């Protein structure tokens, strides 16, 4: 995207050290100087934070002004003549003076400081400081380090009190839990005793601290920056799509940093993306293929040829005994998802493939097929920038897509973007967005959305209804909409009646790509419907196979078919049964299935039940790409090379070989090249009179390594505008059967369950990082004041919610929410909803004060 | 010298602080007059009187008021606020607290007229936290004024409304700095704000705000009653009106002396019975510890904004701290510097670190452990603070140091150990 120069903005022409430059009025001197390549030293200045002018390091002179000024806080003016340290003795002396003062209380312990080697203070002391300090008195010292949280440590004597960390937390994250305390030389960064630094974004403070005052517990004293190799990477944790940088040494990742991408994550990331990477080096990592010993029933290490042979044999039998279903999980790369999608059709001859390892529905499939697939870049971060209002449906941005949250927050803070949330209560994230919550009991989403559409909504709903009609308004709908029948249909029709645009924001990093890759039972790659005879033929011709036109089974259907013996086997990649809507059935299915092949990084409930386990590479050991929620392509290279770990696609390619099929996907590049060819094929088809000329494009599919990282496009980008080819999804099957909490069917002591995942919880990709886990939100249970009173509970009391299988007991937080609705976190310590409670959001559960009676 | 008190004229009356006494002595007559005039005319009147702020900087008060955007659009459409700076914290200064103790209604009357002039319907009096006595007195005066209909809605039937809140600070010197005061008032830590935006455009809660000193506002009713010309008949051309001078230290009769702007220390000492018996003036501050010292040579400098500046110091808060030949200038300077180190808010490097360092150097000097380089280091550090720090507190911290070295370098040298002193003599001979 290119930014059009805004000609409406007034310009100012000034000189800096004699060089002339023209910049928009309001530009800060320090920014204008940067454009000329003139570097003015600075500490407190940060381009994404409000200026504060505290460190006084950036002093420059303006001709004709009595006093020198700070370049970071003073805006340019037409005709101004600025002199920096390069041409002004006054500026140079002031900067040296400030530097000397900054160092009098600095420990100068660079040799043992994490920041040494990449420290702005160290660097600028060299370039702009005095060679000798005149300070011969007593330095201020503090006990060190101070734990600001379990993950962030503070060495106060190193701090230059620039307030970057506090401003970031206040202005960007909205978590003002870290502040400057005390006065004078005793001024120091601290936290309130009763309110720890609980922020999902705290790691950014470590990254922007211009000295080594803030360090991450996991990285502290582990490495020197000059010993590290840095590889640009893309976060594998969510669909926000953060650019990152992975620093590693001798085959081991030492830390990850937020990368710079002004269009996506600006310069931030979340703590999960920054710190959750040790899962890949946990002790239960699978490094060799495993096959189940027929006699002992134990998994035993095997060679690749042996394991592939066993796997092929098993699949052959299973294919003949009803077929094989493929579950690939939502964490796949685009290339791996394509490999699963193609393997299912080309090798197994079936549409039984689904990436959704979570609640899902036929209605959702319609939505993904009709509204999402093939519509990349329909709504982007840039569209959020322009939106007057955003409606969140089944989506908690701070928990489920943190960079979307930061963007919404900035827009709310800077220009008052109106945020509405159809949710059971105003979550902490919604509160920080100054959002208006449309109190929605679980399951009532369709009703609430319908009221916005037909204008019958009152109160805050009326405001939301009119906001959604303003040009550019956006509906962000989460994957959780699949939990409540009728929600996708209602949201789609709301978009149609109001003219609002809509984007689907899944939680996992691979889901958006998997949709385009065709890893769904009703979709072929490129957004082609399996039942679209015309386009389908093109894809299948391209693959040179024939596959059933009917949609395949979805995740739940595959699992029950496997349990009942209708399916002969399952291929499972990266799925945690505990995340599935019905974990018990899933486990039973794995137990019952004739043959189970698991592609996994680490041991799991699936590998425990698998006949053959093939180890696959975690993100750090492979290259590939993700699509962000927008559909933006995010390619990444292999960070740690030469470990021998294979991507899922490579494993599937070898397995296909064993089954005498050439999958033709030996590398991610090959997968991307095929996707690109399919893209061209489809683009050509829509342009021409309608005949797909498969063969013509097939040959162009070769793409070599270097070309893949240019961000070149590989699939058609559709825009969901008026005359789009798309006919819209068919929601005939959808109904809005949600039980209302005021329904007479609900008795006192009963409630509807609401639940979602918190960003930091018991997800397996956060394993091995106790410091990070320590910053997770404390699991609580939420009830309205009325419902709490009904069961005799008050704030802080332990309350037990009992579901189909078991119960969960958590301390109560009384919350403004509909009566007879209870919320607990989905997969947090002490709160496993699916695997433990055995109930799903929208289900009726029992609530009672105290611990469970048994 | 004959004195006709203006600001202090009621101070010696019985129960001078009560509404009854105040009303008996012309109280609230200026208000009645002001409410009949258009607000804009009041601004012009104060401009014409030449009144300059009594909080230290001497900014023309009428001009400050005229910066408040008026009208129905943009910033003009926002509510406007008047904030009274009653945080009196400058060392040596003692005029606002006695004013509030002896004559709180004159402040309230000034507040009402000034608020009316800038179209404010809400005013805050921010009183230094430790000054509980003054706080109570102002609170009860505000209460009396509400009861009597001088505050609240439809004041004296004019249709004008004003609410006044008395707020206690927590006793930080920096909270006297107007933007730090606003932050403190809003519930934040008191640290100065970046300017622009200036308070006149975005002050309290982001709305246009005038911040004035107690003495400034107390002057307003007299100007309304007596007129601009009468006010200008007192004082000097560019510093009009009467002023309360606080004399403390080595004087026979320390206290508050009201005299026209431009009065000299010699004249004030006459009123205060002179330097204490048997001693002679050595150095003094014309306007508090943040203003460079004067010496006995400056005894005839007319104490108004421009003359004091021309003589190398600042009028500040007209807090005259008098020292005689028994006082050690280095010790006095150390004591002041400790104050700045203690009161520095910590926001900016030069003031925070500079005062921390200079205290240690001065302490060494006083302890006889100074070095030959210390004087240069002190002067150079002051140079790195003055005009480089975020707010005027840092600038003020350099005043005692640079001026004491300027006038009394030998006193510093005398404190050096022999061998260090020797280095200086050698250096000078070269
Ligand atoms: C460190 C510092 C402390 C100050 N303390 C006070 C104070 O206690 N009272 C006061 O009126 N002004 C004080 N000022 C000046 C105010 O910032 C401001 O100039 C004044 O209140 C404006 O009122 P005036 O225009 O009526 O003088 C202080 C300034 C600084 C830099
Ligand atoms: S901890 Fe770092 S970022 Fe925070 S104020 Fe200190 S130096 Fe600045
Ligand atoms: S916001 Fe999402 S993509 Fe970004 S670092 Fe966090 S988990 Fe990763
Ligand atoms: S000069 Fe700086 S540190 Fe000192 S009080 Fe002002 S802002 Fe605070
Ligand atoms: S960078 Fe300008 S004051 Fe800190």
Q: Per residue in A666-705, pLDDT tens? A: 999 999 999 999 988 877 665 443 333 333 333 333 222 2
CB contact at 8 A, A814 and A783: yes
Distance B293 CA to ligand 4 centre (A): 21
Question: Is the Cβ pair A101, B361 closer than 8 Å?
Answer: no
Question: Is the Cβ pair B344, A182 closer than 8 Å?
Answer: no
Across the interface, of A56, A100, A161, the residue whose CB is closest to B346 is: A161
CA neighbours closer than 13 Å in the CB half-sphere of residue A386: 8
Query: Best mutation site among A94, A184, A192, A210 for testing chain B: the one with the most B CBs within 10 Å?
Result: A184
Give dist(CA A807, CA A849) in Å, integer.
12
- How near does any CA of chain B get to the CA of A59, in Å? 8
Give dist(CA A32, CA A25) in Å, integer.
11
Q: Is B262 on the interface with A (CB under 8 A)?
A: no
Which residue minimizes the CA distance to atom 4 of ligand 2? Answer: A165
**Index of the ligand 4 atom closest to the CA of residue B352:** 3
Please tell me the predicted confidence (pLDDT) of residue A744.
61
Give dist(CA A359, CA A361) in Å, integer.
7
pLDDT band for A854, please (50, 70, 90 cuts): low
Closest CA to A627 of A333, A274, A263: A333
Which chain A residue lies closest to B353 (C-alpha atoms)? Answer: A101
Across the interface, of B189, B194, B377, the residue whose CB is closest to A51 is: B194
Question: Using a CB cutoff of 8 Å and minimum separation of 24, what contacts does A135-141 make?
Answer: A135/A100, A135/A103, A135/A104, A135/B357, A137/A104, A137/B357, A137/B360, A137/B361, A137/B364, A138/B360, A139/A104, A139/A105, A139/A106, A139/A107, A140/A105, A140/A185, A140/A186, A140/B356, A141/A107
Question: Is the Cβ pair B345, A98 closer than 8 Å?
Answer: no
Q: Tell me the two tokens of residue A772.
A: 């990070």
Please tell me the predicted confidence (pLDDT) of residue A728.
54
**Segments of chain B scoring below 70 in pLDDT:** 1-2, 426-430
- How near does any CA of chain B get to the CA of A102, in Å? 6
Please tell me the predicted confidence (pLDDT) of residue A725.
40
CB contact at 8 A, A264 and A238: no
Which chain B residue lies closest to A94 (C-alpha atoms)? Answer: B384
Report whether the peptide linkage leading into residue A145 is cis, meaning its omega lies within 30 degrees of zero: yes
Which residue minimizes the CA distance to atom 4 of ligand 3? Answer: A242
Q: Which of A202, A237, A510 to mutate to test the pocket of ligand 3 (most atoms within 8 A of CB)?
A: A237
Question: Is the Cβ pair B357, A51 closer than 8 Å?
Answer: no
Give dist(CA A777, CA A768) in Å, integer.
18
- Reported as a single tens digit per residue, the pLDDT across B174-209 is 999 999 999 999 999 999 999 999 999 999 999 999
Q: Tell me the two tokens of residue A447.
A: 């009703």
Cα-based torsion angle of the residue sequence A701, A704, A705, A710 in order, rounded to the nearest 10 degrees: -70
Task: Give the number of the ligand closest to the Cα of residue A402.
Answer: 3
CB contact at 8 A, B28 and B150: yes
Q: Which of B179, B189, B351 to mutate to test the pocket of ligand 4 (most atoms within 8 A of CB)?
A: B351
Rounded mean pLDDT, A752-780: 96
C-alpha B5, offset from chain centre: 20
CB contact at 8 A, A649 and A671: yes
Query: Best mutation site among A67, A129, A179, A183 for testing chain B: the one with the most B CBs within 10 Å?
Result: A183
Distance A58 CA to ligand 5 centre (A): 5
Question: Is the Cβ pair A68, B387 closer than 8 Å?
Answer: yes
Distance A764 CA to ligand 5 centre (A): 43
Rounded to a whole number of angstroms, the CA Rg of chain A reads: 29
Rounded mean pLDDT, A749-759: 97
Please tell me the predicted confidence (pLDDT) of residue A708.
32
Give dist(CA A326, CA A573) in Å, integer.
8
> Per-residue pLDDT for A501 more than 80?
yes
CA neighbours closer than 13 Å in the CB half-sphere of residue A477: 28
- Reported as a single tens digit per residue, the pLDDT across A403-412 is 999 999 999 9
- Reported as a single tens digit per residue, the pLDDT across A178-208 is 999 999 999 999 998 887 788 999 999 999 9
Give dist(CA B151, CA B163) in Å, integer.
6
Give dist(CA B165, CA B338) in Å, integer.
34
Q: Would you say the CB of residue B123 lies under 6 angstroms from ligand 4? A: no
Q: Tell me the two tokens of residue A424.
A: 């059971």
User: CB pairs below 8 Å between A and B: how many?
Assistant: 99
What percentage of chain A exceeds 90 in pLDDT? 84
Please tell me the predicted confidence (pLDDT) of residue A9.
73
Give dist(CA A600, CA B68) in Å, integer.
69
The interface residues of chain B toward chain A in range 384-403, judged by CB-CB distance below 8 A, are 384, 387-390
Across the interface, of B343, B348, B387, the residue whose CB is closest to A54 is: B348
Average pLDDT of every residue of chain A = 91
Q: Would you say the CB of residue A474 lies under 6 angstroms from ligand 3? A: no
Distance B51 CA to ligand 4 centre (A): 28
> C-alpha angle A838/A840/A844, rounded to 5°?
90
Q: Which helix (H) or strand (E) holds A22?
A: strand A19-24
DSSP A52: -
Across the interface, of A54, A135, A183, the residue whose CB is closest to B357 is: A135
Task: Give the number of the ligand closest to the Cα of residue A506.
Answer: 3
DSSP B419: H
For A237, residues 6+ apart whose C-beta sits below 8 A from its C-beta are: A270, A272, A273, A276, A509, A765
Question: Is the Cβ pair A104, B353 closer than 8 Å?
Answer: yes
**A57-88 burial: b if 16+ Cβ within 10 Å, else e:** bbbbbbeeeeebbbbbbbbbeeebbbbbbebb
- Reported as a single tens digit per residue, the pLDDT across A769-787 is 999 999 999 999 999 999 9
- How near does any CA of chain A get to the CA of B426, in Å? 21
Q: Would you say the CB of residue A204 lies under 6 angstroms from ligand 3? A: no
Across the interface, of A67, A140, A183, the residue whose CB is closest to B387 is: A67
Task: For A389, list phi and psi in degrees, rounded to 5.
Answer: -155, 150
Query: Cα separations (Å) of A269 from A48, A259, A404, A410, A462?
Result: 14, 8, 11, 14, 35
Q: Which helix (H) or strand (E) holds B81?
A: strand B81-86
Length of chain B: 430
What percentage of chain A exceeds 70 in pLDDT? 92
Rounded to a whole number of angstroms, the CA Rg of chain B reads: 23
Distance A369 CA to ligand 5 centre (A): 52
Q: Would you say the CB of residue A159 lies under 6 angstroms from ligand 2? A: yes
Please tell me the predicted confidence (pLDDT) of residue A739.
57
> Per-residue pLDDT for A2 more than 50?
no
- Reported as a single tens digit per residue, the pLDDT across A23-52 is 999 999 999 999 999 999 999 999 999 999
pLDDT band for A1, please (50, 70, 90 cuts): very low
CB contact at 8 A, A205 and A214: yes
- How near does any CA of chain A get to the CA of B388, in Å? 7
CA neighbours closer than 13 Å in the CB half-sphere of residue B428: 8
Please tell me the predicted confidence (pLDDT) of residue A546.
84
């Amino acid at each position: 995207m290119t930014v059009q120069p805004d000609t409406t903005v007034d310009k100012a022409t000034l000189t800096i050290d004699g060089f002339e430059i023209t910049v928009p009025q309001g530009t800060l001197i320090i920014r204008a100087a940067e454009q000329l390549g003139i570097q003015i030293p600075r500490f407190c200045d940060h381009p994404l934070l409000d200026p504060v002018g505290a460190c006084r390091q950036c002093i420059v002179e303006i001709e004709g002004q009595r006093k020198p000024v700070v370049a970071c806080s003073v805006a340019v003016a037409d005709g101004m003549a600025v002199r920096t340290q390069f041409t002004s003795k006054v500026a140079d002396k002031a900067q040296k003076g400030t530097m000397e003062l900054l160092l009098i209380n600095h420990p100068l312990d660079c040799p043992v400081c994490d920041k040494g080697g990449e420290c702005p203070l160290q660097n600028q002391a060299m370039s702009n400081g005095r060679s000798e300090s005149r300070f011969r008195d007593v330095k201020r010292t503090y006990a060190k380090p101070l734990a600001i949280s379990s993950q962030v440590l503070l060495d106060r004597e190193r701090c230059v009190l620039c307030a970057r960390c506090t401003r970031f937390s206040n202005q960007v994250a909205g978590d003002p839990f870290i502040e400057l305390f005390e006065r004078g030389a005793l001024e120091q960064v601290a936290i309130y005793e009763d309110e720890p630094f609980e922020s999902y974004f705290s790691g950014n403070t470590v990254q922007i601290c211009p000295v080594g005052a803030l360090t991450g517990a996991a990285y502290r004293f582990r490495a020197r920056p000059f010993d590290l190799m840095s590889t640009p990477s893309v976060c594998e944790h969510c669909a926000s799509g953060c650019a990152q940088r992975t620093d590693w040494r001798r085959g081991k990742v030492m830390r990850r940093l937020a990368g710079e991408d002004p269009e996506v994550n600006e310069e931030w990331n979340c703590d999960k993306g920054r710190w959750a990477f040790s899962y890949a080096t946990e002790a239960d990592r699978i490094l060799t293929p495993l096959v189940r010993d027929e006699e002992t029933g134990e998994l035993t290490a095997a060679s690749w040829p042996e394991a592939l042979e066993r796997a092929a044999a098993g699949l052959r039998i299973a294919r003949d005994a009803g077929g094989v279903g493929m579950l690939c999980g939502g964490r796949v790369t685009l290339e791996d998802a394509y490999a699963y999608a193609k393997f299912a059709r080309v090798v197994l001859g079936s549409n039984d493939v689904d990436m959704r390892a979570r609640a899902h529905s036929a209605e959702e499939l319609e939505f993904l097929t009709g509204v999402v697939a093939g519509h990349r870049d329909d709504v982007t971060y840039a569209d959020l920038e322009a939106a007057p209002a955003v409606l969140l449906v089944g989506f908690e941005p701070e928990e489920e897509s943190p960079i979307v949250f930061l963007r919404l927050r900035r827009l709310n803070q800077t220009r008052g973007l109106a945020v509405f949330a159809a949710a059971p209560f105003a979550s902490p994230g919604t509160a920080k967005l100054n959002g208006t919550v449309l109190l929605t009991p679980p399951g009532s989403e369709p009703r609430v959305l319908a009221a916005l559409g037909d204008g019958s909504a009152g109160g805050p709903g009326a405001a939301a209804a009119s906001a959604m009609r303003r040009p550019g308004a956006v509906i962000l709908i989460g994957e959780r909409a699949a939990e409540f029948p009728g929600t996708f249909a209602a949201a789609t029709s709301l978009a149609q009646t109001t003219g609002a645009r809509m984007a689907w924001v899944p939680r996992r990093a691979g889901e958006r790509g998997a949709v385009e890759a065709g890893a769904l039972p009703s979709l072929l790659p490129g957004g082609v419907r399996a039942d679209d005879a015309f386009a389908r033929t093109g894809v299948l011709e391209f693959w040179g196979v024939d596959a059933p036109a009917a949609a395949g089974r979805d995740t739940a259907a595959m699992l029950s078919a496997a349990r009942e013996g209708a399916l002969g086997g399952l291929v499972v990649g990266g799925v945690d049964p505990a995340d599935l809507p019905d974990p018990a059935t899933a486990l039973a299915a794995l137990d019952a299935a004739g043959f189970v092949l698991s592609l996994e990084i680490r041991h799991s409930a699936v590998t425990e039940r698998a006949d053959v386990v093939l180890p696959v590479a975690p993100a750090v050991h492979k290259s590939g790409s993700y699509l962000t929620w927008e559909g933006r392509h995010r390619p990444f290279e292999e960070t740690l090379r030469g470990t021998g770990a294979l991507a899922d696609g490579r494993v599937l390619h070898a397995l296909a070989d064993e089954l005498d099929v050439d999958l033709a996907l030996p590398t991610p590049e090959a997968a991307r090249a095929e996707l690109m060819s399919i893209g061209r094929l489809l683009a050509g088809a829509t342009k021409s009179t309608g005949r797909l000329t498969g063969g013509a494009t097939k040959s162009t599919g070769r793409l070599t390594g270097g070309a893949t990282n240019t961000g070149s496009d590989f699939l058609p980008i559709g825009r969901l505008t008026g005359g789009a080819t798309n006919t819209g999804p068919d929601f005939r099957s959808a109904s809005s059967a949600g039980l209302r909490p005021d329904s007479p069917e609900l008795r006192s002591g009963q409630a509807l369950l609401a639940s979602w995942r918190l960003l930091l919880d018991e997800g397996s990709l956060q394993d091995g990082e106790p410091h990070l886990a320590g910053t997770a939100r404390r699991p609580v249970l939420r009830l309205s004041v009325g419902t709490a009173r009904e069961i005799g509970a008050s704030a802080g009391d332990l309350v037990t919610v009992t579901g189909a299988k078991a119960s969960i007991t958590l301390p109560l937080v009384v919350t403004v929410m509909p009566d007879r609705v209870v919320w607990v976190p989905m997969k947090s310590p002490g709160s496993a909803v699916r695997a433990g409670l055995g109930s799903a959001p929208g289900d009726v559960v029992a609530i009672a004060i105290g611990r469970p009676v048994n | 010298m004959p004195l006709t008190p203006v600001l202090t004229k009621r101070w010696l009356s019985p129960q001078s602080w009560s509404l009854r006494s105040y009303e008996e002595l012309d109280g609230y007559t200026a208000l009645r007059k002001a409410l009949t005039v258009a607000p804009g005319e009041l601004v012009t009147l104060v401009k014409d009187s030449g009144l300059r702020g009594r909080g230290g900087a001497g900014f023309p008060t009428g001009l400050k008021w005229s910066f408040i955007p008026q009208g129905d659009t943009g910033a003009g459409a926002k509510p406007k606020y008047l904030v009274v700076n009653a945080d009196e914290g400058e060392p040596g200064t003692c005029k606002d607290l006695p004013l509030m103790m002896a004559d709180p209604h004159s402040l309230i009357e000034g507040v009402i007229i000034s608020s009316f002039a800038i179209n404010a319907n809400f005013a805050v009096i921010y009183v230094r936290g430790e000054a509980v006595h003054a706080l109570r007195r102002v609170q009860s005066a505000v209460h009396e004024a509400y009861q009597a209909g001088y505050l609240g809605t439809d004041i004296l039937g004019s249709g004008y409304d004003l609410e006044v809140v008395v707020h206690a600070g927590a006793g930080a010197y920096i909270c006297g700095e107007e933007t730090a005061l606003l932050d403190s008032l809003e519930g934040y830590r008191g640290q100065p704000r970046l300017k622009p935006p200036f308070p006149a455009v975005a002050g309290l809660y982001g709305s246009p705000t005038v911040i004035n000193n107690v003495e400034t506002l107390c002057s307003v009713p007299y100007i309304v009653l007596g007129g601009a010309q009468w006010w200008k008949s007192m004082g000097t051309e560019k510093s009009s009106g009467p002023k309360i001078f606080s004399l403390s230290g080595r004087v026979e009769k320390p206290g508050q002396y009201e005299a026209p702007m431009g009065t000299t220390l010699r004249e004030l000492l006459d009123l205060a019975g002179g330097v204490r018996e048997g001693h002679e003036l050595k150095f003094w501050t014309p306007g508090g510890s943040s203003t460079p010292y004067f010496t006995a040579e400056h005894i005839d400098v007319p104490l108004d904004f421009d003359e004091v500046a021309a003589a190398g110091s600042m009028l500040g808060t007209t807090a005259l701290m008098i020292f005689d030949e028994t006082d050690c200038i280095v010790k006095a300077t150390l004591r002041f510097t400790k104050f700045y180190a203690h009161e520095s808010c910590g926001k900016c490097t030069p003031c925070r670190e500079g005062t921390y360092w200079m205290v240690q150097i001065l302490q060494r000097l006083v302890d006889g452990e100074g070095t030959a380089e210390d004087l240069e280091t002190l002067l150079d550090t002051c140079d790195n603070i003055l005009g480089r720090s975020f707010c005027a507190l840092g600038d003020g911290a350099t005043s005692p140091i640079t001026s004491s070295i300027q006038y009394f370098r030998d006193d510093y040298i005398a404190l050096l150990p022999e061998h260090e002193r020797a280095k200086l003599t050698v250096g000078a001979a070269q």
